[in-house]
């Protein structure tokens, strides 16, 4: 169902045959860091606290989990860490990968350094594999119904735009440079992080 509403749009420069993980050369991936600017935009005082040190420490574990799931050919649409578009892209890349090359990869990525490249707030819907059609949770559906029923006279409801935080992180290891883009829905009480892109493959 999610594949009908979320296109894969895999980058033409990605090659799962030549690069079974990362899908691009280390040089290409590292060059992306030159184009990502660190912009910290605080929209209002209700932004959830963001402990960068704690985030980086926990994100390394999730990064390795995604890597192992890719090697084990798990269906990312059944996965809580990745957004629908990225899940579809990872599934597609995995199907096109060389099994022999994949089996030669290490079981884990030993991250030596991780660094936040950008941290920004955007007015966009945060997608999730477990939301309705990937877009709406129960609270968001109720909000849309109320806004539609009341009409434009309840302008304060119509003007409540979705808000999400997006963070790009560079992970360095012996074998890889990987840039992972994380996002979380700031309208939620305890927002969870999801990966929405890896090495700009979508």
For 122, residues 6+ apart whose C-beta sits below 8 A from its C-beta are 163, 164, 165, 166
pLDDT of residue 6: 47
Average pLDDT over residues 83-110: 93
Is the pLDDT score of 137 beyond 80?
A: no
* DSSP string covering 10-65: --TT--TTT-TTTSS-HHHHHHGGGT---------TTSPP--HHHHHHHHHHHHHH
Q: Of 22-31, 130-139, 152-161, 191-200, where does mean pLDDT reach its minimum?
A: 152-161
Question: Is there a contact between 178 and 199 (Cβ–Cβ < 8 Å)?
Answer: yes
Q: In the structure, what pLDDT confidence band is assigned to residue 190 with cuts at 50, 70 and 90?
A: confident
Angle at CA of residue 145, ends 159 and 78, nearest 5°: 100
Q: In the structure, what pLDDT confidence band is assigned to residue 142 with cuts at 50, 70 and 90?
A: very low
Q: Of 54-58, 74-78, 91-95, 124-128, where does mean pLDDT reach its minimum?
A: 124-128
For 108, residues 6+ apart whose C-beta sits below 8 A from its C-beta are 64, 67, 68
User: How confident is the prediction for the chain on average, in pLDDT?
Assistant: 82
Average pLDDT over residues 79-107: 92
Q: What is the pTM of this model?
A: 0.81
Handedness of CA 68, 73, 77, 83 (dihedral sign): positive
For 82, residues 6+ apart whose C-beta sits below 8 A from its C-beta are 66, 76, 90, 129, 194, 195, 196
Q: Of 3-12, 113-122, 125-134, 148-157, where does mean pLDDT reach its minimum?
A: 148-157
% of residues, the chain, pLDDT over 90: 54
């Amino acid at each position: 169902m999610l594949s009908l509403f979320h296109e894969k749009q895999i980058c033409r420069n990605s090659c799962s045959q030549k690069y079974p993980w990362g899908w691009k050369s280390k040089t290409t991936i590292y060059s992306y860091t030159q184009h990502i600017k660190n912009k910290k935009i605080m929209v209002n005082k209700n932004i959830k606290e963001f402990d960068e040190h704690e985030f980086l420490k926990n994100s390394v574990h999730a990064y390795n989990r995604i890597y192992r799931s890719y090697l084990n050919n798990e269906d990312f649409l059944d996965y809580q860490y990745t957004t629908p578009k990225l899940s579809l892209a990872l599934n597609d890349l995995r199907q096109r990968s060389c099994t022999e090359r994949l089996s030669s990869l290490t079981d884990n990525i030993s991250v030596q350094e991780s660094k936040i490249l950008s941290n920004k707030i955007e007015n966009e819907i945060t997608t999730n594999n477990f939301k309705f059609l990937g877009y709406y949770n129960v609270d968001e559906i109720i909000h849309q119904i109320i806004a539609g029923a009341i009409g434009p006279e309840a302008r304060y409801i119509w003007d409540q735009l979705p808000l999400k935080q997006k963070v790009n992180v560079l992970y360095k290891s012996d074998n890889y440079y990987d840039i992972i883009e994380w996002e979380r829905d700031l309208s939620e009480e305890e927002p969870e992080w999801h990966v929405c892109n890896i090495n700009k493959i979508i």
